[in-house]
Chains A and B, each alone.
Chain A
């Protein structure tokens, strides 16, 4: 992909790095997203990781899910605080994994 981009734009390596570097506001937004989850849940970062892992384990018992793609968001819905999680299902044909799983 990098090579393709480089070929398309005929850019030097340095220029490409600058072109693909994340906007600082996007870095800010992503960092805040995580910090706000921890603040809202009053959960330490390692506890959050632990919860993520456990939820992943539970879900992967029933379907084939991506190892990496898992998003958490703590959202406010009027007076409620809700935890929303997005997990990528990898293979829909294998909704019930092999018994060994």
Chain B
């Protein structure tokens, strides 16, 4: 078996890399794949708490790289009935305790056994970023529709291109539909035209994501939530299924449709 190693990165911190990694990983496992997620954010690990596995950690990524434990010993099985495993980052070690070649070797080992190896990349573009991206053949960039996140995403796209990771895919996270509607948030088209890469997923801002993080159960386990269904869709698209992007427009009744039509007429006049 040769699995695919995909790095999830962003440049800017706090845009949802770890949440995306946990949810895409879980989503792929729910589709019947054998998946391992690797937290490479040494010193600031979080994938373990997002997946609710923080109490099961014995060995970590640095232990594997240094040879203090076997690869299988550092893999923590998910709480649910899927073939999903986590390799946690070391929390008390330095970012420079591993190098790009070592991580690549480890992932090559994992690719023999797993369909998908997902790497949660640390924020920034320093050593941790270089390690994480060197280990992958594909990249997913997470951004939010905000100027700072988009600017950093653009930097990262450039860096990935120059290191040979071509055609990264984009996830636009935390889209607030109401703000987009009134013109206070960039929409998919705006972001797409600025970054000029293929969008693989749109994720609405959804309180369920926060609740899911509180509980340590990724939001894909709740496919009725808008964020949960968005991540399931992304997992399907990563898996090669050709399904449309999420429709962010909430279901509207006849009355609001009528209001919308009147509003459109008003705007048409203002161009005169």
State the A residues within 8 Å of B (CB): 5, 8-9, 19, 23-26, 28-29, 31-33, 35-36, 39-40, 75-76, 78-79
B154 at the interface (CB under 8 A from A): yes
User: Which of B161, B166, B180, B194 touches A29 (beta carbons < 8 Å)?
Assistant: B194
A40 and B161 contact, CB distance less than 8 A: no
Query: Which residue in chain A gives the minimum CB-CB distance to B197?
Result: A76
Interface of B is mostly: helix
Tell me the minimal C-beta distance from B71 to chain A in angstroms: 34
Tell me the minimal C-beta distance from A99 to chain B in angstroms: 42
Complex CA gap A25/B145 in Å reads 9
A23 and B151 contact, CB distance less than 8 A: no
B272 at the interface (CB under 8 A from A): yes
A29 and B151 contact, CB distance less than 8 A: no
Interface size on B, residues (CB 8 A): 24
Interface of A is mostly: helix
Chain A residue numbers with a CB within 8 Å of B185 are: 25
B150 at the interface (CB under 8 A from A): yes
Tell me the minimal C-beta distance from B167 to chain A in angstroms: 8
B147 and A75 contact, CB distance less than 8 A: no
Q: Contacts A32-B151, A39-B151: A75 and B183 contacting too (C-beta < 8 A)?
A: no
B151 and A75 contact, CB distance less than 8 A: no
Q: Contacts A28-B147, A79-B166: A36 and B184 contacting too (C-beta < 8 A)?
A: no
Report which residue of B146, B150, B157, B180 has the largest number of chain A beta carbons within 10 angstroms of its beta carbon: B150
Query: Which residue in chain A gives the minimum CB-CB distance to B196?
Result: A76
Report which residue of B146, B157, B180, B196 has the largest number of chain A beta carbons within 10 angstroms of its beta carbon: B196
Chain A residue numbers with a CB within 8 Å of B272 are: 8
Within 8 A of A (CB), among B152-196: 154-155, 157-158, 161, 166-167, 180, 183-187, 190, 194, 196
Tell me the minimal C-beta distance from B164 to chain A in angstroms: 10
